[in-house]
Chain A
Amino acid sequence: MEILLDILSWIFLVTGSFFCLTGALGLFRFPDFFSRIHAASLTDTLGASLILIGLMFQAGWGIVLAKLIMILFFSIFAGMTASHAMAKAALKSGLQPLEFKGKNEQGQEGEQPSKP
């Protein structure tokens, strides 16, 4: 039983760290602010949740488990709301999303907006 808990928590922790790392990579590589928010917030929230679930397996039954569940809920809410607030603030200051450059299937061309 101990080994099963250890293996499960290992899987969750490693997957969570992988998601966090790819989120950080996306922060660098994406061209536009909105796609960067998308990458960072989604993958970071998922990665943090997986890491917390992996820690829950190690905690055992007790007050630590309850605290970890509360931290999980709080970090999900706060992360999503923060990225929503950032995107809304960026839209309100006039930053437009990057449009598709090149031709799509109908042969229409997109355009490059102004980017700070």
Chain B
Amino acid sequence: MKDLFAVVMLTGIYSLLTASLFLDLDAVDVAFTEASVGAGISTLLMLATLKLVGRFERHTRYKPALALGVVLVTGSLLVYGTLDMPHFGSADAPVHQHVAPRYLNDSMAEIGVPNVVTSVLASYRGYDTLGEILVVFTAGIGVISLLRVSRRTKKDSRKKVPVDMQQQIILRIVAKMMLPPILIFALYVQFHGDYGPGGGFQAGVIFAAGIILYTMLFGLSSGQRVFKPVVLELLSALGILLYAGVGVACLLLGGNFLEYNVLRHDPVHGQHLGILLVELGVGITVASVMITIFFKFTWRTVKHKYKNE
């Protein structure tokens, strides 16, 4: 298939199908994240890259024999390796024995949050989540340093919205109508993550998707007037600062790092406060990094357009 546009679209459909399969396997949080991240942001960034590198593949000469051989050998070895695994859906598999029952049984008493995935993510395994948003932040820094924009292009392209975008009246009106519900939904997902599927990551991605919709239809300069790039970079660092700051505050109040029990007079309330602040930090960082990455990709296309004129 030489048309990379079709490849990217099929990848988006594939992500959506895997999200629905995750839903069937009882993984609601994971399905939510995969649908919003894989079928949303990933497809969007790939389309932005296609705008910059060209839509069609050059030539499809490749020698598949050696690759097929390697793949078949590896595949058969892997299938041989899975013959000892526990059956699909069995309740006495080793993975369900030691830690997971403790999380499921004690989560309500110790943390008081119905969504066990959120309580494990933000409290029992909170240190891993700190590392995770550090990875997101690092990716944001990497994209900023790779797709750097010089100051001269910034001054040139402070122009109005291009003419053909001004004619898209229906799209602009519908986007203006749908943007507040999208942002409110992002906040709902953020703060309702304790009681249903949701949490910081999904909320950050949905928020970023709303802002990206606005920027796509109203021009990059309008989007950057609302969300200045400096503010976005500061916000992405602020989210991590909030997360680590909660951990240090727990240290200062006498507990261990990220032990939320000591934050309030009552351990359960302390856990609630800790999870709230931590998820807020995650949401802020993820949203601002996603918007920054999109802005950097779009700057590059704008720079190309003005260079070729």
Contacts and interface: CB of A to CB of B under 8 A. Distances in A.
Contact of A84 (B171, B177, B178, B181): B171
Interface in B148-172: 164, 168, 170-171
Contacts, number: 17
A77 B177 contact: yes
B31 to A, nearest CB: 15
A105 to B, nearest CB: 34
A74 B181 contact: yes
B164 A84 contact: no
A77 B168 contact: no
B54 to A, nearest CB: 16
B53 interface: no
B174 A81 contact: yes
A76 to B, nearest CB: 11
A101 interface: no
A88 B174 contact: no
Nearest to B177: A77
Q: How many A residues are at the interface, by size bracket?
A: under 10
Contact of B164 (A70, A81, A85, A92): A92
A70 B185 CA distance: 11
Interface string A64-89: 00000010001001100100110010
A81 B171 contact: yes
Contact of B170 (A70, A74, A78, A81): A81
Contacts of B181: 70, 74
A3 B230 CA distance: 60
A85 B177 contact: no
Contacts of B170: 81, 84
A74 B178 CA distance: 8
17 contacts: A70-B181, A74-B178, A74-B181, A77-B174, A77-B177, A77-B178, A78-B178, A81-B170, A81-B171, A81-B174, A84-B170, A84-B171, A85-B168, A85-B171, A88-B168, A88-B171, A92-B164
